[in-house]
Structure 1
Amino acid sequence: MPVLPLTSPSYPNHSMASTPVSSRVPLIFRRLHRFQQMDFELALWQLSYLCLAPKRVYRNVYYHKQTKNTWARDDPAILVLLFGCLFVVALAWSTVYSYTVFDAVKLGFIMILRDFLLVGVVMATVIRLFANRVLLSPTSHSSPTDMSVEWAYTFDVHTNAFFPLFLTLYVAQLLLLPVILRDRWVCLLVGNTLYLAGFAQYIYGVYLGLSALPFLIRAEILLSPLLPLFASYVVSLLGFNVASHVLQAYFTS
């Protein structure tokens, strides 16, 4: 009895071509409208521990991989909470700069769509490419699906790393605005230290996210941007007010 082929040799990419475009979108984005199925309590717990003990958040990725066969989260509750936080902060910044209601809403969408989502898409793509080309362990797993970093997971890493930066540069900077914009060296020190802390937290968050994957090695390379970041910070203390220049460019563009 002849053995029949399971797939047609004439159409090797038939299954990929027949896959709907919507199914290629990460699950976390496809579920953004399902509010009743979101676990906001877990999302709040994760946001809290991203500031207090971020390593504990990444302990759950092993459980998620075992139960759902993916490293990335599929519950968009954390995205909804971040969107809400960004929009509220945008209203607060708009009050400080005497924006109209229309301009305040526009600023909210800019913070969500550009600052978080667009930057997240770019960072997730760059991090995934770098991790799959540089950090993969050649003998870690036998399954090919476990030997590559998912794009959805790197977007998760960006999301987790973004929240501490958000608290530092969007919230703390707003509260300290009367201080950091004054023409004194101590005020310059406070403002520049905020930016150092914010970006250092982001870099460290990316490192934690990728070091949590068991099939990646040399994740310490991801901490290398801390050196030029700190060097730039030291140079800026000679008289360059980072906060003043960034805010002027951000709110006058």
Structure 2
Amino acid sequence: MSVLPLSSPTFPRNGSPSPGPMRSSGSLSNRIPVIFRRLTRFQQMDFELAAWQLTYLCLAPKRVYRNVYFHKQTKNTWARDDPAILILISGCLAVSAVAWSVVYSYSPFQAIELAFLMILRDYLLVGAIMATILWLFSNKALLSPPSHSAPSDSAVEWAYAFDVHTNAFFPLYLTLYLAQLFLVPIVLRSNWICLFISNTLYLAAFAQYTYGVYLGLNALPYLVRTEILLAPLLPLFTGYIISLLGFNIAKHVLPMYFGS
């Protein structure tokens, strides 16, 4: 199983792979998801649709996943091929980086560095790791038993798993990167009420992410037992209850992230 199973290699009629560097170059290009290959085609991006999706990911996330069926019928892929949503989320992270930089009195260079850190590490790198985990787990443990009526492409695409991360990440972004920004004077205070607000904020963020991942994979008709994806909610809530005894998450996370 390849790392990004987006296409199958082509073979000549004699059954052996075609030699030469041209095949290697084409194969490498095809392994990169379409959404990343189109990052520079701004004129072809539908930012209005991407903004609509981001809005409904907060208001009614199930509506967003209803569109994947239409996308599958028209483009024969579950994963989105328009990188507009990546650009919008990256822009949101850049704006947040500037705002956090003002709070912590960062220099312009530090603000730019923080923006790249949020985009490349928090969103893209973590997203690639999560997508790989979801892709492997879904195809190993959640696929329905094969049958003669099942379509031949009944497998989770890595690019779709990254879509699931993207969709689940945006509500987390609003909670931890935006709402927490306005609550910094409160969540860092040393009293139980502020500790409760701080830890509840982190509980809400990661519970939203977990639920978003569940919704994304539950939308695929050939996956079963997707309720397993909600299992992290139990240790998450247990850790939250224990943390209320005196462990303020924000007071430990923010100094690690921004320095003391």
Residue 151 (structure 2) pairs with residue 143 (structure 1): yes
Matches within 5 A, 1:129-208: 129-139=136-146, 141-145=149-153, 147-208=154-215
- Partners of 2:243 and 2:95 in 1: how far apart? 31
Matches within 5 A, 1:1-253: 7-9=13-15, 11-12=16-17, 17=24, 19-139=26-146, 141-145=149-153, 147-252=154-259
Superposed CA RMSD in Å reads: 1.7
Shift of 1:20: 3.6
Output the CA distance in 2 between the equivalents of 1:250 and 1:173.
Answer: 13
Q: Secondary structure at the match of 1:176?
A: helix
Distance in structure 2 (CA, Å) of the matches to 1:91 and 1:221: 38
Tell me by how many angstroms 1:12 deviates: 4.7
Structure 2: 5+ residue stretches without partners? 1-10
In the alignment, residue 36 of structure 1 is paired with which amino acid?
Q
Q: Distance in 1 between matches of 2:220 and 2:136?
A: 15
The number of residue pairs the alignment matches comes to 247
CA distance in 2, matches of 1:107, 1:18: 34
Q: 1:142 to 1:19 in 2, by over 3 A?
A: farther
One-letter amino acid of the structure 2 residue matched with residue 7 of structure 1: R
What is the TM-score normalised by the length of structure 2?
0.91
Amino acid at match of 2:259: T
Secondary structure, counterpart of 1:19 in structure 2:
helix
For 2:129, what is the secondary structure of its paired residue?
A: helix
Shift of 1:22: 1.7
Between 1:172-181 and 1:136-145, the stretch displaced more is: 136-145
Are the counterparts in 1 of residues 135 and 161 from structure 2 also a CA contact under 8 Å? Answer: yes
Q: Distance in 1 between matches of 2:259 and 2:133?
A: 29
Q: Match of 2:135, SS?
A: helix
* One-letter code aligned to 1:191: S
Report the residue type matching 2:129 in the other structure.
Answer: V
| Partner-residue secondary structure (3-state), 1:144 | coil
- The CA deviation at 1:192 is 0.2
Q: Percent identity?
A: 67
Output the amino acid matched with 1:45.
W
What is the letter of the counterpart of residue 151 of structure 2?
A: S
Q: Which amino acid aligns with 1:212?
A: A
Q: CA deviation at 1:63?
A: 0.2
SS of the equivalent of 1:220 reads: helix
Asked if structure 1 preserves the Cα contact closer than 8 Å seen for 2:203 and 2:240, the reply is: yes
Q: Once the 2 structures are TM-superposed, how far is the Cα of residue 16 of structure 1 from its aligned partner?
A: 6.8
Deviation at 1:17, TM superposition (A): 4.7
